[in-house]
Chains A and B, each alone.
Chain A
Amino acid sequence: MPKIQPSLASESSATKAEDLTGVTGTDRRRVLFVTETEAAADALWGQMQTAVEAGQHGNSYLRFVATSSDAGLALLRASQIDLLIVDQSKPSMWIDFVEQAHEISKTTIVFLLSHSWSVNSLRDAINRGRVFRALNKDRPWPEILGQIRIGALEADLNRSQSALMREASKQNRELEKLTIGLEKTVEDRTEGIARAKELTENQLDQVRHLIRLTKDLSQNISFEEIMSLIRREVRGFAKLGDPILLLQTSTLDFEVLSFRSGILLESRFAGQFGPPGPKATADKALSRKLANLLGRPFMPVMAFPLEVRLIQKYGFESAAAVLCFESSLIDSEQDSFFNEFEKILRPVGMAVDRAFLEREMTIHSLRWERTFDGLRDPIAVIDHNQQVLRSNSKFSDRLIHRKCHQSFAKSEAICQGCPLEKVLATGQLQSALLNIEGRQFQVNSYPIFLAPSQAPSSVVNQYIDVTHSREIYARMLQSEKMSALGLLAGNIAHELNNPLSGIRNLTQVLVAETVNMKNSEGLQADLLEIEKATVRSQKIIRNLLDYSGEGEHEVVLIDLAEVVEKTLPLLKTVLRTHRLNLQLEGRTAKVKVDPHLLQQVVFNLVNNACQAMLQTGQLTIATGVAKEGEGGRESTAYLRVSDSGQGVPQALRDKIFAPFFTTKTEGQGTGLGLSLSRDLVRRFGGELSLKEVGPGACFEVTLPIVSGQEGGQ
């Protein structure tokens, strides 16, 4: 086996020795000589160097030498060989070598030099060994070197081609890498966009849901609807109970709103439910409290305090609301629930706030309404147009209000003496006494100021029915007046009686003295007239004493004719302008009355009758026995006072006996005459009524006859 020469050593030495052109090693063509001896290689190298120096070969060469086939193949494998020059005496022996060399480096240009070429070896060298040139060593050097030059140029071409190829493939690889990177980026991006889209859609869905929920919440005003919405909202959390709402209405009591078999129940409790624990934890104290309140076992409770600013703003400072859920969620689930629920907490809070306020306002206003309805007196808020804004049930049962005088007084005209205008003008409380529908009301009218410093916009009227108390007062006054009159009459009677008595007696003396006198008839007649006048005066005084009740009030048996006769002297003044027609009968029919009181009745009736007749009229006073029934035992005595006036209008017939009813102008009458008279007559078992006769009015007193014909005195 031929031994490999230490080629690197020789190469380096050659490099140092031959590198005379100044070009870099890589640019030099690498030439491997495979010769039988190193001397042969040197000889070839010498020829080539000469040609190089002559400028015939362009670039210079770098020399490698091998003296065996193995060393040559090793060098071929180790270095990039451009030219392989095989110089052997027996070329046929080296066909395999060059074939192997070609296998190792296809671009290497191979020259096979020999002195002895056979046709077979030539054919094998070209066909099998694929040599570039098979050269006869016997040919002159310039020819051989020329062929080597062609090979060298070919090698240069090969070399640049391969460098180009290398570069191209390198660029290709980079391009490929770039393409792969780009594709990945695009892929990533696409995926990202898809994910983002999905995420956005999710968020959008959530927002849409939130909007819908908010809208639903804002449209629903009852706690039941709100609670049902919350309940639906948390349905996704299976380990969560139905919502429970705690409402602190005042410092004194609170309410628990909870579902029981799908129905919202409200329970009210005294006291305060107290502030809930930290939001994020299940509150055990609260669940214990709820268990006690609602009487069932409770899981840990999660509490969400709700902001209820609206209701607090409207004066319910102590109002508070807490939304609770029974929960068996584990920590991580709890977090997700909190995140989820946090979003709707605000709209829920606002809805609860609104519903809370609405309900409290309703309760509040209902309470006021009930308060006013509970009062005894009619009360109404009235504006400047007499329009009733609000009223209690005592004022009117209607919900839709009309003007106050239409609703309350049932009149199209404003009530006489209505204090409304004055209150609005002065802004001060006013009181007035109004006659409304036959009753007397003291109307206290208070101004209502919607803003301080402004004129009152409306008034609140309180109607106190003073009919009864006024009646009592008026009667008291009347009886006081009568007793004062009695006292006065007594004094006057006494004062007058004495001189009257003297006048009468003196007249009697004078009459007696004139008896024996001559021509004294005229004088005597005058004196007798004086005496008669004193008699009449004394009678009037006695009647006045009787009428005013001087002496004892006694119930006695008396006939109505006598009562009339006793009263008439007192009525001379009022009767003066009218014609009096007396039809006094039934003197034997006695009734049991206090004559003084009955005299007052007659006095009233006659007085009324006279006032009812504007011009000179006819007044008729009649007494007698009413023929009632067959037996006659239950018969009654009557006393009728009728006039020739206008009569009582149909519309007033029901009202004339009502206290304070009067057709007279203010100050002319108390409106108590007929009312009092009827009471007095009824006291003795009788009746005072308006008879439907004639054009004028006829009032009739009927009294039961106590002792009839047989009891006559």
Chain B
Amino acid sequence: MKVLVVDDEPLVRRSLQRAFKAKGHDVDLAEDGGVGLRMLLDNSYDGVFLDVLMPQMTGPQVLQSLPPEKRQQMRIVLMSAFTGAIENQEATGLADHFLAKPFEDIFAIVKLMEEIVHER
């Protein structure tokens, strides 16, 4: 399974990378929305972790910039420390799942992603 983590917080990127690699998955990292979008267009991933609030480009903006056929190839999980508004509106329509930060258990997240990707 190939996973992309788009988050401006290095510790979040690093912890997710380590957790997925520990489970034998490939992980790419992007530090903001712009870099993330380019990597999404250039490569193909099974699952994507996308932070909502990021400098330059937010998570939903990245999703909106993706061609529909590209979007269909992958599972998207939006993440945010601000719960509430986004959870109910855009995220549900745009993403396959929504995660509130902080994560109680990182391996539960890995498991969640594996399940979503395999459902397909």
Instruction: Report A's interface with B, CB cutoff 8 A.
Output: 493-494, 497-506, 508-510, 512-513, 538, 551
Residues of B within 8 A of A510 (CB): 18
Let me know if B107 and A512 touch, CB within 8 A: yes
Which of B5-13, B69-77, B90-98 lies on the face that meets chain A?
B5-13
Let me know if A498 and B22 touch, CB within 8 A: no
Let me know if A494 and B15 touch, CB within 8 A: no
Instruction: Report the separation of the CA atoms of residues A510 and B12 in the bound assembly, to the nearest whole angstrom.
Output: 14
Using a Cβ–Cβ cut-off of 8 Å, how many residues does chain B contribute to the interface with A?
20
**B55 to nearest A CB, angstroms?**
13
- Among residues of B, the one whose C-beta sits closest to the C-beta of A534 is B102
Residues of A within 8 A of B109 (CB): 505
Let me know if A499 and B107 touch, CB within 8 A: no
- Among residues of A, the one whose C-beta sits closest to the C-beta of B106 is A505
Task: Beyond A502-B15, A506-B15, list 5 extra A-B contacts (CB 8 Å).
Answer: A498-B102, A501-B103, A505-B11, A513-B18, A551-B84
Q: Interface centre among A500, A503, A505, A506, by most B CB within 10 Å?
A: A505
Closest 9 CB pairs of A and B: A502-B11, A501-B102, A505-B15, A506-B15, A505-B106, A498-B9, A509-B18, A497-B81, A508-B106
Instruction: Report the separation of the CA atoms of residues A509 and B108 in the bound assembly, to the nearest whole angstrom.
Output: 11
B105 at the interface (CB under 8 A from A): yes
- Among residues of B, the one whose C-beta sits closest to the C-beta of A538 is B102
Number of cross-chain contacts by CB at 8 Å: 64
- Given A498-B12, A502-B12, answer yes or no on A509-B106 (Cβ-Cβ < 8 Å): yes
Digitize B20-54: 1 where CB-to-A-CB distance is under 8 Å, 0 elsewhere: 00100000000000000000000000000000000
B19 at the interface (CB under 8 A from A): yes
Of the candidates B12, B82, B107, which one forms a contact with A501 in the assembled complex, judged by CB atoms under 8 Å apart? B12
B111 at the interface (CB under 8 A from A): no
**A531 to nearest B CB, angstroms?**
10
**A524 to nearest B CB, angstroms?**
15
Instruction: Report B's interface with A, CB cutoff 8 A.
Output: 9-12, 14-16, 18-19, 22, 81-82, 84, 101-103, 105-107, 109
Instruction: Report the separation of the CA atoms of residues A376 and B52 in the bound assembly, to the nearest whole angstrom.
Output: 60
Let me know if B22 and A502 touch, CB within 8 A: no
Let me know if A499 and B105 touch, CB within 8 A: no
**A416 to nearest B CB, angstroms?**
49
Residues of B within 8 A of A505 (CB): 11-12, 15-16, 19, 102-103, 106, 109
- Given A509-B15, A509-B18, answer yes or no on A502-B105 (Cβ-Cβ < 8 Å): no
Residues of B within 8 A of A506 (CB): 11, 14-15, 18, 106
**A98 to nearest B CB, angstroms?**
190
- Among residues of B, the one whose C-beta sits closest to the C-beta of A501 is B102
Instruction: Report the separation of the CA atoms of residues A551 and B84 in the bound assembly, to the nearest whole angstrom.
Output: 9
Let me know if A502 and B107 touch, CB within 8 A: no
Let me know if A499 and B82 touch, CB within 8 A: no
Residues of B within 8 A of A502 (CB): 9-12, 14-15
Instruction: Report the separation of the CA atoms of residues A711 and B27 in the bound assembly, to the nearest whole angstrom.
Output: 50
- Given A497-B101, A501-B12, answer yes or no on A509-B81 (Cβ-Cβ < 8 Å): no
Of the candidates A493, A494, A503, A551, which one forms a contact with B11 in the assembled complex, judged by CB atoms under 8 Å apart? A503
**B116 to nearest A CB, angstroms?**
18
Let me know if B11 and A498 touch, CB within 8 A: yes
Of the candidates A494, A499, A509, which one forms a contact with B22 in the assembled complex, judged by CB atoms under 8 Å apart? A509
**A1 to nearest B CB, angstroms?**
192
- Among residues of B, the one whose C-beta sits closest to the C-beta of A508 is B106
**B86 to nearest A CB, angstroms?**
13
Q: Interface centre among A501, A506, A510, A512, by most B CB within 10 Å?
A: A501
Instruction: Report the separation of the CA atoms of residues A81 and B95 in the bound assembly, to the nearest whole angstrom.
Output: 196
**B100 to nearest A CB, angstroms?**
10
Residues of A within 8 A of B10 (CB): 502
Residues of A within 8 A of B105 (CB): 508
- Among residues of A, the one whose C-beta sits closest to the C-beta of B102 is A501
Let me know if A504 and B22 touch, CB within 8 A: no
Ordered by A's residue number, 20 sampled pairs between the chains whose C-beta atoms are within 8 Å are A498-B101, A499-B9, A499-B11, A500-B102, A501-B81, A501-B101, A501-B102, A501-B103, A504-B102, A504-B106, A505-B11, A505-B16, A505-B19, A505-B106, A508-B15, A508-B105, A509-B106, A512-B19, A512-B107, A551-B84
- Among residues of B, the one whose C-beta sits closest to the C-beta of A499 is B11
Q: Interface centre among B14, B101, B109, by most A CB within 10 Å?
A: B101
